[in-house]
Chain A
């Protein structure tokens, strides 16, 4: 059977997320446990987590999490990275053997910073250079796969059930101000670690439940801007779209939501607020190929916040709840109740309406 990237594999999923609005540390096992009641939404063929604020000691460095299929690949890849980056720390990501997790690759993380000279040579900004490097490794370096590349954040993913993966990566040892989680139900895959979610690019991470019907329209459009959809997964293309809209076009989160889950024309036409209406028409027209159709519920993680978003018909479940400074998001309320039995204000956001939570003012991240 072919791996992700050779073939497009649809899948069903479970997602969950939590954030502390005040930036208080949350242990990673909280989110790992949240996935347990949604066990049946996954089928053991992939899961993962993203934590933000987990590397305060190295917060100024890009944390590259990389799978290698062999020592020699790692050597080659490290050599490639060293050409353009300063590596301040390189280590194996600590794991704990777990019966349910097998066939593990070699998993390392590197805290790096691009060489100023290289950036100057290429006339690129730092982030863009990191993106290109990641894309290059992932598309050209066989056996190496960068699965996390943001600052002060990290992704942890594997083939298996999410709660087992959480234990495997010893998530209880990390503290972050926000976490996202994903459990996967692919319908046709041998399961490949790199294909598990969250999918990340820089500090953007996406967990996604659904199967988007606009995939190839989105992919072929976004690939015009230097992205390569090597995994052929929805999550990957959504991540790139978000990166394109937020980082490169500098749209706000709401504006980006109005592109990917644009209101229906009939809704737009009924909008009495003319500037608002014109803005919506503009965004839909300008970025028409980035409209995402088909069922999805996603949580986008980024530096300093989370955004949950449903497709405009709300074809996938997504609920949100609150308690004190924490906001919870999940495919099922059960997951929220696991994290916080006394969660309040539980609601199901309407299709196309983003729920954006950012760290309160004055809170360091």
Chain B
């Protein structure tokens, strides 16, 4: 048996399938003469660009050694003065409703409360699968996400590639996305889901559009995106009808009109420097939910320099947005969804404690489907049948397994969330939201603690 190390992307497929665990992938011992400044990858990238003259592309999240604030926050637990709650004995609630909450109650003439809540998204746990388009990921990957979302009572997101006809039946567990390319957007599509998401930006590539090459626009994908076979699917960097917050407000209300105010509107933005002000604007735009995507969020393809250098961490963005909206007294206008590398139940708990209503996960979901983070999605040759449209590769992902693994993952997280909540003496996720006293920082400086709105451990 021979292997060509230059072609190996370290997807670990062979390692995973070998029944005797006889294979392992090792780093090639052929390395460049690197130093602290000029490291292997940096040098190679220069060679690559010198060869091609092109923009470097990469995929999945920012791999650079930037701080991961989740790992610098620790969670509280009850001891003595109040009791932890045993999730095996007591109900432990994780249900959340996302959407705007009115300022005041209203009553009818006989004094009964009127349900004046605008449309909400109901989730059995505060996690949703975030946007990944059909095209960037496979039919079977979408099928897995949709089926799992339905079984779990949560939501998955179509991404900007439209909604495949087979998946309309999962509508109540679907967020349909309206992105700058407007692929596959028409009235039935808008009405098909539980909510509509306007994608203004993405954590992995803030300020950048997207480009799915024509050769991938075939068959179902072309039909679902509603563009001719073989034509490039180009998502412009901006929405060309949104050049200001007023324009966004118009789109929000256009979509609400189109769906007769029955669907909450989510506005998804990348976490960038003045995210708090941006969020405040969106909260006043009529949007029901703001999704903030941090700079470690994944992608099927992004220019490397953008992915690695643009945007800010979700933890800081979330904390400052939550604080700003509360300071302005408009936190109840919107729900907040945090995404951009939520890796575990602990990250979810920390995000909720910082102030999120729910989290978006995508990379973790793909890992559940088999992804080994080889970060070569852009090649379209995903060995795990996820980020590919090649039939023989797609086949490798059986949605029976995929959906089951997603359900397993989410169920496991739910158990962990409940356990952590129980430890804090909290038996409902509402009581965790924004409960920053439950967090303490370690190894953070004053400024970071201030932005996160938490005390240092020991305080």
Given A224-B332, A225-B329, 11 other A-B residues pairs in contact with their CB atoms under 8 A: A11-B81, A210-B82, A212-B82, A213-B426, A214-B432, A251-B105, A288-B97, A288-B101, A289-B434, A295-B82, A295-B425
CB contact under 8 A between A10 and B82, given known A255-B113, A264-B91: yes
Contacts of B82 in A (CB 8 A): 10, 210-213, 294-295, 315
State in angstroms the CA–CA spacing of A294 and B437 once bound together: 14
State in angstroms the CA–CA spacing of A100 and B293 once bound together: 58
Indicate if the CB atoms of B436 and A216 lie closer than 8 Å.
yes
Stretch of A15-23, A34-42, A156-164, A278-286 lying at the B interface: A278-286
CB contact under 8 A between A213 and B105, given known A220-B326, A221-B434, A282-B113: no
Inter-chain contact total with CB atoms closer than 8 Å: 112
The listed residue (A10, A264, A291, A295) touching B431 by CB distance below 8 A is: A291
Q: From residue B403, how far is it (CB to closest CB) to chain A in Å?
A: 25
Contacts of A275 in B (CB 8 A): 112
Indicate if the CB atoms of A278 and B425 lie closer than 8 Å.
no
Is A123 an interface position by the 8 A CB rule? no
Contacts of B332 in A (CB 8 A): 224
Closest 9 CB pairs of A and B: A214-B431, A216-B437, A213-B425, A211-B82, A217-B435, A293-B431, A288-B430, A216-B435, A10-B81
Indicate if the CB atoms of B434 and A313 lie closer than 8 Å.
no
Indicate if the CB atoms of A313 and B97 lie closer than 8 Å.
no
Is B433 an interface position by the 8 A CB rule? yes
Contacts of A278 in B (CB 8 A): 115
CB contact under 8 A between A288 and B433, given known A220-B326, A224-B326, A250-B105: yes
The interface bits of chain B over 39-74 (1 if a CB of A lies within 8 angstroms of the residue's CB, else 0) are 000000000000000000000000000000000000
State in angstroms the CA–CA spacing of A164 and B251 once bound together: 66
Contacts of A251 in B (CB 8 A): 105
- Which positions in A face B, CB cutoff 8 Å? 8, 10-12, 187, 210-218, 220-221, 223-225, 249-251, 255, 262, 264-266, 275, 278-279, 282-286, 288-289, 291-295, 312-313, 315
State in angstroms the CA–CA spacing of A11 and B332 once bound together: 31
Indicate if the CB atoms of A313 and B427 lie closer than 8 Å.
yes
Q: From residue A180, how far is it (CB to closest CB) to chain B in Å?
A: 22
| A-B residue pairs in contact (CB < 8 Å), sample of 23 | A211-B82, A215-B435, A217-B432, A217-B434, A220-B326, A220-B435, A221-B331, A223-B326, A249-B105, A250-B105, A251-B105, A264-B91, A278-B115, A279-B112, A283-B113, A285-B117, A286-B117, A288-B101, A291-B430, A293-B428, A294-B426, A295-B82, A313-B427
Taking CB as reference atom, which chain A residue is nearest B76? A213
In B320-346, the 8 Å CB interface with A consists of 326, 329, 331-332
The listed residue (B101, B428, B437) touching A8 by CB distance below 8 A is: B437
Is B262 an interface position by the 8 A CB rule? no
The interface bits of chain B over 89-103 (1 if a CB of A lies within 8 angstroms of the residue's CB, else 0) are 011010111000110
State in angstroms the CA–CA spacing of A210 and B82 once bound together: 7
State in angstroms the CA–CA spacing of A282 and B122 once bound together: 13
Is B317 an interface position by the 8 A CB rule? no
Contacts of A214 in B (CB 8 A): 426, 430-432, 435
Indicate if the CB atoms of A286 and B105 lie closer than 8 Å.
yes
Is B120 an interface position by the 8 A CB rule? yes
Indicate if the CB atoms of A213 and B78 lie closer than 8 Å.
yes
The interface bits of chain B over 414-457 (1 if a CB of A lies within 8 angstroms of the residue's CB, else 0) are 00000000001111101111111110000000000000000000
Is B85 an interface position by the 8 A CB rule? yes
State in angstroms the CA–CA spacing of A286 and B433 once bound together: 14
The listed residue (A249, A284, A289, A293) touching B425 by CB distance below 8 A is: A293
Q: From residue B187, how far is it (CB to closest CB) to chain A in Å?
A: 28
The CB with the most chain B CB atoms within 10 A, among A215, A220, A286, A293, is that of: A293
In B322-377, the 8 Å CB interface with A consists of 326, 329, 331-332, 355
Taking CB as reference atom, which chain B residue is nearest A293? B431
Indicate if the CB atoms of A293 and B426 lie closer than 8 Å.
yes
Contacts of B93 in A (CB 8 A): 264-265
Contacts of B430 in A (CB 8 A): 214, 217, 284, 288-289, 291
Is B213 an interface position by the 8 A CB rule? no
State in angstroms the CA–CA spacing of A215 and B425 once bound together: 11
Contacts of A291 in B (CB 8 A): 428, 430-431
Q: From residue A197, how far is it (CB to closest CB) to chain B in Å?
A: 16
Taking CB as reference atom, which chain A residue is nearest B322? A220
Contacts of A264 in B (CB 8 A): 91, 93
State in angstroms the CA–CA spacing of A8 and B113 once bound together: 36
